[in-house]
Structure 1
Amino acid sequence: MTAREAHDGADATAAASISDNTIDELRDQLVSLARRYHGMPAAQAYEAADDLRREVEQHRDRTQIPVQQQTLMILNGQTAALLAVAAFDLGYFPSARTLARAAAVYGESTRFVPLQAYADGTLAYIAYHSGEPNEALAKAQRALGYSGLGDIAQRRLRAIVARAYAYLGDVASARHAIQLSEDGGRDVRDDLHDAVGGEFGFSEERLAMSNSTTALIMGDAEQAEAEAGRALVLLGGKAQSEQSTHVRAGAAADLAHARLLSDNVEGAAAALTPIWEVPPEERKTGIVVRAARIGRYLAAPRYHGAQLPTELREQIEEFTRVSPPYRLGSAVPLLAIGS
């Protein structure tokens, strides 16, 4: 009877599993979506990630094999992380926060540290865009304490720490974090930021764009202009299919803002040219926030009645008005961010 029961149990276990090829296909779909994210409207990316999440869930219900369950939970966490980013880009800050927390739970449950770190980093930048820089700093610093992170993960988190310090007015700490983010690293990789990459990565041009914004918050026009220019040069050196519209527009906006800080309105107008070319459905939160910040700067009394600043302000108002974050999300968090 013992032998028969063991055989029947083995049959039942085999029946409660799925093909490893199915899991490989789901993983390939996740990697493809992460790497295509930069060229997709956020709404389209959200729908694709949600469809993939549902498919992963269906297969999780069909297997009782522990290693398959583990792999599918990691995939579920990665789709939740992409959903969080897409929700943030659409201006749905509360949903983005909930989805990032879900990703963090999957990372913690599976002991997949890179996912935990990515999710905490996402929670950090949601926090400082919501006017909570102390919370942002705590999340990012906690993630930096995790072991097993590659250089790209460290780079992303250092850039987030720098931004949080800038919002807090701690310029010395922000500069130190920028310097750390730009260090070469230890030539260490991990299974998310490097192996999957795409939206989970953090390219050199994205780092430069981020540090440009941080410099602007600190009021350092010279560093902001240098970093924004470097981002555009790095981006221009890539194949067209690999160039991110979001990074180009974000760096262009930062370059324009830096020139405004030097009272170069004509130069700012020239720098803004790339952002007008961004289709409405691709105007993500980061671009909209940067544009709105420039609009507020141009509303200063010294520009009242001047033709070019007035024209730029009107263009920015129209640009942001038809963007998904203003049409779909709440404008309050975007407007609450300090200029």
Structure 2
Amino acid sequence: MDEGRRTVLFTLATSQGIRSYRAFSAEYTRVAVKLQSDGQEVAPVPGARHYERLLKVGGLKTGPHAPTARVLEQLFQRPVEELLRPAAEMPELEREHSTQARSLPVLDESELLMNARDAASHAGEAAALHLDEMTLDQLHDDLVQLARKYGYTAPTEVYEGANSLLRTAQVLLERTRSPEQHTRLYYAAGQATALLAAVSFDLGALTPAVSFARSAAQYGKTIGNGPLQSYAYGMMAFMAFWDGRPSEAVRLAKNAQQFGGLGDTARRRLYTIEARAHGHLRNDGQAQRAIRDALDQNSGQRDELHDDIGGEFGFDAARTAMSNATTCLLLRDGAGAEDSATMALTLLSSLPVPEQPIVVSGPAAVDLARARLMRHEVEGAQEALAPVFQVLPNWRGSGMLERLTAARIELTRPEFRDAPTALTLAEQIEDFSSFSPARRLGATSPLAIEA
């Protein structure tokens, strides 16, 4: 037994030569008979297991009853409360009996049995707190499915699903002692909070979005997962320029690029986010450099989160083109924006309609409309926005709405003031924007897409 777990009773029994249960039982019975002859109430000798618990700190949930305590106090000449204290708290006791203790056997069969039972009990508890691997596999599969259908699922539905999966991961963490399973569950919790960060932003709730992103980064740090930390930092960079802090966004995007284990997709995403941040700073040279860096990521390296799971964690050519279109608009490069937005929509058109992610197709269409408005093509802008106006209210995320706000501002230019088509388009944008989860949650129009 670990010395720190030995009671005072253990030390005294050892020093008196009655450490074994047989010797203790004989001496206890002798003292009990004497006390009983004096008219005092006593209890029979404790059983072997009860005796073993008396020797171990915390072995008893409650102290011995008075008839038992009376015999123990007479036998060892100390109050029972003191007998059950850790021997380590009484160094004078150890010194007093050290000579006697050294002359006695260190172990006996009773102690070996007690330690064996302790080990068996602990092993049994550990085995009981090991989850069935299929439970973890199912959680992983559910997260993969949610991430992959993110782009064509209503934000409120994604939020409910991600929140439920996060709670599941947190509960399961309390039910296992396996380090390997803890790693898998922290990874699952990180993915769920990352999805909650993304969908909170789409719903126009920036403050909880930032909090979820930080939580995802912390989960990634706990298990040393570079791609998860990178994704979370990328989200925080994205939210920083959306909140009017483009310099902070550049810093966060560069920090995200330093994590290990990143594949081409992860790096493409981070360079694209960095380009947007430089666009908000009107730094044309750095924005164009970041766009080139994004397009140059073709080493063939992959990581599980961004490539194997993909979906919302992925960043394909269509999404890259969509984001680059927005960067070009920030730099007032209408031709570049139109080319990139057209490329994004062309790439998406190769997918079945139900699988075309609205979080990409919607913003790309709005950016195309803005690019056309920059060269005074109101009818062309109206044509580009026609599919956007068909998007149902629950699917109208903040990214799409802020771009529409910028398009609405374009329509206030003097050359559009008396154009009937421009007035009609402006009214359509206002009506469309008023019915959305983001507006109901009080989303505003900060620096996200500047006019």
**Range class of TM-score, shorter chain:** over 0.9
Which residues in structure 2 correspond to 1:301-312 (within 5 Å)? 301-312=414-425
> In structure 2, what is the equivalent of residue 164 of structure 1?
277
* Post-superposition CA distance 1:214-267 (Å, at most 9, x none): 001101111111111100110011233421122212111111111111111111
The correspondence for 1:229, drawn from 342, 362, 365, is 342
Which residues in structure 2 correspond to 1:6-21 (within 5 Å)? 6-21=119-134
Which residues in structure 2 correspond to 1:150-229 (within 5 Å)? 150-229=263-342
Question: For the Cα contact (< 8 Å) 2:268–2:297, is it kept in 1?
Answer: no
> In structure 2, what is the equivalent of residue 328 of structure 1?
441
- Displacement, 1:333? 3.3
2:418 aligned partner, one-letter code = G
User: Aligned partners of 1:195, 1:170: CA distance in 2, in Å?
Assistant: 34
User: Aligned partners of 1:26, 1:245: CA distance in 2, in Å?
Assistant: 26
Larger helix proportion, structure 1 or 2? 1
User: Aligned partners of 1:102, 1:257: CA distance in 2, in Å?
Assistant: 36
> In structure 2, what is the equivalent of residue 50 of structure 1?
163
Q: What secondary structure is seen at the aligned counterpart in 1 of 2:318?
A: helix
- Displacement, 1:8? 2.3
User: Aligned partners of 1:63, 1:132: CA distance in 2, in Å?
Assistant: 42
> In structure 1, what is the equivalent of residue 139 of structure 2?
26
The correspondence for 1:109, drawn from 196, 199, 222, is 222
- Where structure 2 has 5 or more consecutive residues not aligned to the other structure, the ranges are 1-111
> In structure 2, what is the equivalent of residue 67 of structure 1?
180
> In structure 1, what is the equivalent of residue 95 of structure 2?
none
User: Aligned partners of 1:250, 1:330: CA distance in 2, in Å?
Assistant: 17
* Post-superposition CA distance 1:96-145 (Å, at most 9, x none): 00000000000111101100000000001111111110111111010011
* Post-superposition CA distance 1:306-327 (Å, at most 9, x none): 2111111111111111121111
> In structure 2, what is the equivalent of residue 281 of structure 1?
394
* Post-superposition CA distance 1:59-82 (Å, at most 9, x none): 111111111111101100110000
Question: For the Cα contact (< 8 Å) 1:248–1:274, is it kept in 2?
Answer: no
User: Aligned partners of 1:333, 1:210: CA distance in 2, in Å?
Assistant: 18
1:75 aligned partner, one-letter code = A
- Where structure 1 has 5 or more consecutive residues not aligned to the other structure, the ranges are none
Question: For the Cα contact (< 8 Å) 1:163–1:174, is it kept in 2?
Answer: yes
Question: For the Cα contact (< 8 Å) 1:131–1:337, is it kept in 2?
Answer: no
TM-score by length of 2: 0.73
Question: For the Cα contact (< 8 Å) 1:90–1:329, is it kept in 2?
Answer: no
> In terms of Rg, which structure is larger?
2
Question: For the Cα contact (< 8 Å) 1:215–1:221, is it kept in 2?
Answer: yes
How many residue pairs match? The answer is 338
* Post-superposition CA distance 1:185-236 (Å, at most 9, x none): 2100001001211100011101100000100110111111111110011001
More relative contact order, 1 or 2 (CA 8 Å, 6+ apart): 1
> In structure 1, what is the equivalent of residue 248 of structure 2?
135
- Displacement, 1:285? 1.0
121-130 vs 320-329, greater mean Cα deviation? 320-329
Identity %: 42
Question: For the Cα contact (< 8 Å) 2:262–2:303, is it kept in 1?
Answer: yes
TM-score by length of 1: 0.97
